[in-house]
């Protein structure tokens, strides 16, 4: 690993889509200009999210290379701009998938800033000053203090890191769609987001939690994570009929293509299907009949607000949430990306400096 000059930061730089095959280069990159509303972090941990991989391979359209991914960042504050009043050097904070908002658009005024019309994504985005945003597969992070959330004492950094994106992305729709007593919740896709959805649905005391996966290889894990039942869609051709009308809310974390029709059959009257996974390609068409006859709703949801993050961190601390993380050295990031693509994480890799 070579050292960088004073003005540059050092991290895993992706130069083209081959980065997703484990071809990121350790080297220097130019962070945004330091402004008085900014902080710098000495990064201790960064979770590995499916969105990192989509972006590395330009799956959502051409990425803005060179880039540094990673938006589940935990670090200690090492520098504070003059206009930052609520953070100080030494504080332990987290930065998730969003690192800036405009404060002026309709969603921002509704305190729904995670849907800001001009939002800055933590990597592969642009700050309000026009400069590129760089993520957490690095030594140092620089950006606005306004999206750095203090981590409650007692919550380990390796658990806090993946909560910053993976955790809040499922926490938001679970809360927004009333997960809790009286609700039967299905979770499709038992990966990073999915495992958090099972853990949180359990801590919210839902009536029934059902994990839905293609094979039964994760059945035992899902039951330990809080599922009451498990459906292996690839192993039982009768799964839709057997489980029809059995759920009120489905949280789909599926990152690839899937048939919406089949999952809608599992919803009971007035049920809601929330899509969180963001496949590279559009989904196959579906029949509106399934929606119409049961008054179903299809929703999407993007990460969560700062208040969601704060509330979630408190819940995680209060319930002693045990995320299933595998801590790997930052130096192994390329191998970690390869392993992620193979579907090996159980259930979230966290890079540690």
| Category of 84 on φ-ψ map: left (φ > 0), alpha (ψ -120 to 50) or beta | beta
Give me 191's structure tokens: 């990966």
Token look-up 């050295």 returns 329
51 near Zn ion, judged by CB under 5 A: yes
CB 180 within 8 A of CB 210: no
Gyration radius (Cα) of the chain, Å:
20
Query: Quick check: bond before 31 cis, omega within 30?
Result: no
For residue 122, state whether it binds Zn ion (rule: CB under 5 A): no
With vertex at residue 44, the alpha carbon angle to CA 42 and CA 50, rounded to the nearest 5 degrees, is: 115
Q: Cβ 267 to ligand NAD, closest distance in Å?
A: 17
Specify the length of the chain in residues.
353
Q: Are 343 and 128 contacting, i.e. CB atoms less than 8 angstroms apart?
A: no
Q: Which of 73, 165, 188, 309 binds Zn ion (CB under 5 A)?
A: 165
Q: Which residues ranging from 306 to 345 are in contact with Zn ion (CB under 5 A)?
A: none
State in angstroms the smallest separation of the CB of 166 from ligand NAD.
6
Task: Report the nearest approach of ligand NAD to the CB of residue 303 (Å).
Answer: 4
Q: In the complex, what is the shortest distance from the CB of residue 83 to ligand NAD, in angstroms, rounded to a whole number?
A: 29
Q: Which of 19, 24, 49, 193 is close enough to bind Zn ion by CB under 5 A?
A: 49
Tell me whether residue 10 or residue 172 sits nearer to ligand NAD (CB atom).
172
d(CA 52, CA 10): 18
The region of 80-88, 96-104, 214-222, 314-322 touching Zn ion under the rule CB under 5 A is 96-104
Residues 1-40 as x/- pattern, contact with Zn ion by CB under 5 A: ----------------------------------------
CA separation for the pair 240, 261 (Å, rounded): 10
When CB distances are held under 5 to 8 angstroms depending on the partner's kind, the choice from Zn ion, ligand NAD, none that residue 343 binds is ligand NAD
* Cβ distance to ligand NAD smaller for residue 28 or 262: 262
Interacting residues with Zn ion (CB under 5 A): 49, 51, 97, 165
């Amino acid at each position: 690993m070579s050292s960088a000059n004073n003005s540059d930061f050092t991290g895993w730089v992706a130069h083209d889509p081959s980065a997703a095959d484990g071809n990121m280069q350790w080297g220097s990159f130019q962070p945004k200009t330091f402004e008085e509303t900014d902080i710098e972090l000495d990064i201790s941990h960064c979770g590995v999210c499916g969105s990192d991989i989509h972006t590395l391979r330009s799956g959502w359209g051409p990425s803005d290379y060179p880039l540094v991914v990673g938006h589940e960042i935990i670090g200690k504050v090492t520098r504070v701009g003059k206009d930052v009043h609520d953070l100080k050097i030494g504080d332990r904070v987290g930065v998730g998938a969003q690192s800036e908002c405009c404060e002026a658009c309709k969603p921002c005024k509704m305190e729904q800033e995670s849907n800001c019309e001009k939002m800055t994504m933590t990597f592969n985005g642009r700050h309000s000053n026009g400069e590129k945003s760089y993520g957490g597969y690095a030594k140092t992070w620089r950006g606005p203090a306004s999206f750095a959330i203090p981590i409650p004492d007692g919550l380990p950094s390796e658990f806090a890191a993946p909560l910053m994106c993976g955790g809040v992305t499922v926490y938001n729709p679970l809360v927004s769609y009333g997960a809790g007593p009286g609700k039967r919740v299905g979770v499709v896709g038992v990966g990073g987001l999915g495992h958090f959805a099972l853990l949180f649905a359990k801590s919210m005391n839902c009536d029934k939690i059902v994990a839905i996966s293609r094979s039964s290889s994760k059945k035992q894990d899902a039951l330990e994570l809080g599922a009451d039942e498990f459906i292996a869609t690839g192993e039982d051709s009768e799964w839709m009929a057997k489980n029809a009308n059995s759920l009120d809310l489905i949280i789909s974390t599926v990152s690839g293509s899937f048939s919406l029709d089949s999952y809608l059959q599992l919803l009971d009257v007035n049920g809601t299907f929330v899509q969180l996974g963001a496949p590279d390609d559009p989904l196959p068409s579906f029949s509106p009949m399934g929606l119409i006859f049961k008054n179903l709703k299809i929703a999407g949801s993007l990460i969560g607000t700062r208040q969601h993050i704060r509330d979630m961190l408190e819940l995680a601390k209060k319930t002693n949430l045990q995320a299933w993380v595998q801590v790997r050295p930052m130096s192994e990031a390329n191998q970690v990306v390869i392993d992620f693509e193979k579907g090996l994480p159980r259930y979230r890799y966290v890079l540690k400096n």
